[in-house]
Amino acid sequence: GSGAKPREGDSHLVRWGAGLSQLPDPALVQNVLVVLDLRHNKIREFTALNIPHLTGLQHLDLTGNHLTSIPENIHLMSEKLRALYLGRNRIEILPKEVGRLSSLVGLRLDHNKLWELPWELGHAVALEAIALEHNQLTSLPPEIALLSNLRILGLRGNPLIPASSSRTRDCAPVAAGEVKSMGGFGSDE
């Protein structure tokens, strides 16, 4: 891509910093959305009721809102979902169903309140980049090692505790030098 801002209309809906407190009414969206970019609003809820209206989505960006949770039926949203950006929210729990997003390539969860990750995340085999900086994570599930396409894992700013050798027997060790920088993908702080 040229890096150009997505077009408003047809399959793209972009509302940056518009003061929105909820996701737009699906009845107002005429077309199947491919990109929904609602960065830096005041959205508090992303509920199961939103999911049936987002079945064609490939890119969802809810960075910088006031979300505290992710709906458990998120895996029904789209088989095509490639990017899920939920950084800079107040999310404490990642539902295990995220592991069923088989096309997901990029997952941003930096600057949240996550204290653990579901082992099922290891089933999201298309993942290439995960931003987890500045959460409350003390450990990672060994199943992260199953993500053979994973190239970027951002962990800075977490109180990670080295796991005992018995917990890591199935997990490839990740030395500090092996964790690649998130570059433009991860947090900007």
Model-wide pTM > 0.85:
no
pLDDT for res 182: 44
128-172 pLDDT tens trace: 999 999 999 999 999 999 999 999 999 999 999 876 543 444 444
Mean pLDDT value across the chain: 83
181 has pLDDT over 50: no
* pLDDT tens profile 161-176: 876 543 444 444 443 3
Q: How far is CA 180 from CA 32, 110, 128, in A?
A: 35, 15, 12
Angle at 108 between CA 102 and CA 114, to 5 degrees: 100
Segment 43-67 mean pLDDT: 90
Kind and range of the H or E run holding 14: strand 12-14
Per residue in 24-48, pLDDT (tens digit) is 776 666 567 899 999 999 999 988 8
Model pLDDT, residue 55: 82
For residue 115, which of 138, 98, 131, 99 has the smallest C-alpha distance? 138
Residue 26 contacts by C-beta under 8 Å, 6 or more apart in sequence? 50, 53
pLDDT, position 77 = 82
